[in-house]
Amino acid sequence: MNNNFLKQWILSTNHKDIAVLYFIYATFAAMVGTSMSMIMRLELVHSGDTFLHNNFHLFNTMISAHAIVMIFLAVMPALIGAFGNYFMPIAIGAQDMSFPRLNNISFWMLVPGLILISSSMIIESGAGTGWTVYYPLSGILAHSSISVDLVIFGLHCTTISSLLGAINFIVTAHNFKGDSMSMMDMPLFAWSIYITAWLLLLSLPILTVGITLLLMDRNFNTSFYDVAGGGDQMLYQHLFWFFGRPEVYIMIVPAFGIVSMVLAAYSKKNVFGSVSMVYAMGSIGMLGFIVWAHHMYTTGLDTDTRSYFTSATMIIAVPTGIKIFSWLATIIGGSIRFSVSMLFALAFLVLFTLGGVTGVMLSNASVDVAFHDTYYVVAHFHYVLSLGAVFGIFTGYYYWSPIVTGLNFNKNLARIHFFLIFVGTNMTFMPMHYLGMNGMPRRISDYPDSYNAWNEISTFGAILSSLSMLQFAVVVENQLSNGERVTNDTLINPAYTFGNTIASETLEGHSNNAIEFNSPAPLAAHMFNTPVSKFVTYVN
């Protein structure tokens, strides 16, 4: 008994079990990250002495840890580790990932990552540098405790995890497709994970370089970033943002894939123009590598440099627009069924568009002079992340959890979750646009009195968002203990997945989402004995 538990859960080589581990880990990290954001919002509810009683270093530590936990330990494991690991092999008809044991070490490297990052907060004073860890604030003079070093090591662990996972996904996508499936025939979700894997592979080493040089500057008396020794701090910024820009696309591209699948399934149509969707995702990924300095517009770059980055950043709006319009064309003409995952997907469309357009505003170097490092930037990236990637996670959860667990969730509880998180997150982040336009800087722990009103509304929204996380926990608990068993009838008949079989059987072109819904739920640990040899679901 003990041995089996060890084998199944600690030494697992089954992509489904590892994905479940990733999801549980990501939920845990998301709770940690949400609680940190609550601490921050409670401190910012009004000016003056509030929650943290003027312990500003703790506030700075909370900011940095909130970002690192949410990005590296919650969103990325949930989207790529959980959904990617579970559904990408199935989508291409593979039995498992290419390197199953590598998959396992990818997951287990995240655990020391969480431990290191949490200990950096607890040991000595904490790393109050922001998630960007700019030198010289993170240098040995300004942060002389080991907290920053622990953050760097924690990031090393998560980097190793993601890199190994990326290698795994790329090889699986190339080698393990079913016989009759070419690259362009892969479902959109599989494509999104494949593109994300390339982005990870090419950008994470640069982050590693950046933070390892920082580690050496701090501890081994090198001066890569120290001007007094002949280095330049700008090198760190360039290295970090060369990673940082593809990183945010890494977080959003899997959500694009999930939303594509869900929108198609619940409007009983295929995704409009799926080939151009693939090219759009690919070009977003590639363009993401050449636009990094739009995070550095105010650092004193040359004007010509700034104008180049302005234009390159604005170009990314074109493929993103193509995707949004293709999604709109997917749902128009369909027969939309408003399941909970469809609600989240539709909300994703609107809110990601809102976040994207504020990004276009920020991409202009001249306007960025007003908005850099203000709450306008915070509002922008929270709209695309917290209301984009996170909504994508919930879309995927509500879409796939009945067939993963074999248990249906309670629709009414889930709808309450949707309502709470929609209202809560909008109420939190919409006022931040106004704060930013009024000039409130980022990362400040206390502010002049004139910013009181919007901050109070924002904190109230944050409270609602935390309640929504609790509601999500209630939904999951209810699903696992009282959920109604999924039978084949409910799969093929309209309860949750009707659109999928219709979309798969008789259509020309590419079918996106048949396989997992054509199998009995919960999905078996080993679904295919051999790689799927023939896909009968499309005509080419």
Partner 1 sequence: MEGIIELHDNIMFYILLIVVLVCWMISSAVVNFNEYNNHFSMKYLNHGMVLEIVWTIFPCLILLMIASPSFILLYLNDEVVLPAMTVKAIGYQWYWSYELSDFLNTTTNQTIEFDSYLLNDEMLELGQMRWLDVDTWLYVPTNTHIRFIITSMDVIHDFAVPSLGIKIDANPGRLNMTSVIINRNGVFYGMCSELCGVGHSMMPIKIESVNVEDFLSNIMEY
Partner 2 sequence: MAEEKKLDWITPQFDPRFPNPNQTVHCFQSYVDYHKCINIKGDEFAPCKVFLRTFTSLCPNGWVAKWDEQREQGIFPVKLEAATPKEE
Which residues 17-76 are close enough to bind partner 2 by CB under 8 A?
none
Q: Alpha-carbon distance 330 to 319, whole Å?
A: 16
Nearest approach in angstroms of CB 301 to partner 1 is 10
Q: Which does 274 bind (CB under 5 to 8 A by kind): partner 1, partner 2, none?
A: partner 1
Query: How far is it, in rounded angstroms, from Cα 327 to Cα 262?
Result: 10
Backbone angles phi, psi at 527, to 5 degrees: -80, -35
Stretch 245-304 residues interacting with partner 2 (CB under 8 A): 300-303
Q: How far is the CB of 358 from partner 1 (least distance, A)?
A: 8
Between CA 421 and CA 429 the distance in angstroms is 12
Specify the residue for token string 């469809």.
342
Structure tokens belonging to residue 507: 């259509």
Which does residue 214 touch among partner 2, partner 1, none (CB within 5 to 8 A, set by kind)?
A: none
Rounded CA-CA distance 41/453 in Å is 13
Matching residue, tokens 């001007």: 227
Type of residue numbered 395: T
Q: Which does 197 bind (CB under 5 to 8 A by kind): partner 1, partner 2, none?
A: none
Q: Give the shortest CB-228-to-partner 2 separation in angstroms.
A: 10
Binding pattern for the stretch 117-136 against partner 2, x by CB under 8 A and - elsewhere: --------------------
Provide, rounded to whole angstroms, the least separation between the CB of residue 22 and partner 1: 31
| Residue 1: contacted member of partner 2, partner 1, none (CB under 5 to 8 Å, by partner type) | none
The residue among 365 and 464 lying less far from partner 2, judged by its C-beta, is 365
Query: Rounded to the nearest whole angstrom, what is the least distance from the CB of residue 101 to partner 1 in the complex?
Result: 40
What would the two tokens of residue 538 be?
A: 């499309």
CA angle 115, 479, 18 (to 5 degrees): 40
Give least dist CB 339 to partner 1, A.
Answer: 10
Cβ nearer to partner 1, comparing 42 with 167: 42
Residue type, 451: Y
Cβ atoms within 10 A of the Cβ of 240, count?
25
- Residue 55's CB: how many other CB atoms inside 10 A? 13
Shortest distance, position 307 Cβ to partner 2, whole Å: 13
C-beta of 167 vs 234, nearer to partner 2: 234
In terms of CB distance, is 182 or 300 closer to partner 2?
A: 300
The item of partner 2, partner 1, none sharing an interface with residue 270, based on CB under 5 to 8 Å by kind, is partner 1
Distance CA 378, CA 60 (A): 15
- By CB under 8 A, how many residues form the interface with partner 2? 4
Reduce the DSSP state of residue 508 to 3 states and report it: strand
Structure tokens at 508: 């020309």
Task: Give yes or no for residue 141 binding partner 2 (CB under 8 A).
Answer: no
Site for partner 2 in 302-331 (CB under 8 A): 302-303
Find the angle CA(242)-CA(186)-CA(397) to the nearest 5 degrees.
75
Sign of CA dihedral 260, 263, 268, 272: negative
Residue 388 CB, shortest distance to partner 1, in Å, is: 14
Q: In whole angstroms, what is the distance from residue 496 CA to residue 181 CA?
A: 27
* Residue from 482, 357, 351, 489 nearest 425 by CA: 351
Q: Which is nearer to partner 1, 209 or 367 (CB)?
A: 367
The entry of partner 1, partner 2, none near residue 141 (CB within 5 to 8 angstroms by kind) is partner 1
Vertex 233: Cα angle to 439 and 223 (nearest 5): 155
Q: Which is nearer to partner 1, 205 or 441 (CB)?
A: 441
Partner interacting with residue 406 (select from partner 2, partner 1, none; CB below 5-8 Å by kind)? none
416 binds, options partner 1, partner 2, none, Cβ within 5 to 8 A by partner type: none
Sequence-distant (6+) residues with CB within 8 A of 539 are: 508
Q: Residue type for 501, please? A: T
Here the tokens at position 334 are 């369909």
Terminal-residue alpha carbon distance, the chain: 49
Nearer to partner 2, 299 or 493 (CB): 299
Shortest distance, CB of residue 402 to partner 1, whole angstroms? Answer: 19
Q: Which residues pair with 374 in a beta bridge?
A: 441
Q: Report in angstroms how near the CB of residue 229 gets to partner 2 at its nearest.
A: 13
Pick 134 or 460: Cβ nearer partner 1: 134
Return the sign of the alpha-carbon dihedral for residues 45, 46, 48, 49: negative
Residues 347-406 that bind partner 2 (CB under 8 A): none
- CB–CB of 343/398 below 8 Å? no
Which partner from the list partner 2, partner 1, none does 45 bind, CB cut-off 5 to 8 Å by kind?
none
Secondary structure letter of residue 386 according to DSSP: I
Closest to partner 2 by CB, 1 or 228: 228
Query: Which tokens belong to 131?
Result: 């998630």
Nearest approach, Cβ of 128 to partner 1 (angstroms)?
A: 7
Looking at the Cβ atoms of 303 and 529, the one nearer to partner 2 is 303
**Least CB distance to partner 2 at residue 367 (A):** 17
Q: Which is nearer to partner 2, 13 or 233 (CB)?
A: 233
Please say which residue, 102 or 314, places its beta carbon nearer to partner 1. Answer: 314
**Residue 365 touches which member of partner 1, partner 2, none, C-beta under 5-8 Å by kind:** partner 1
The CA–CA distances, whole Å, from 208 to 112, 160, 253, 345 equal: 17, 9, 22, 34
Footprint of partner 2 (CB under 8 A): 300-303
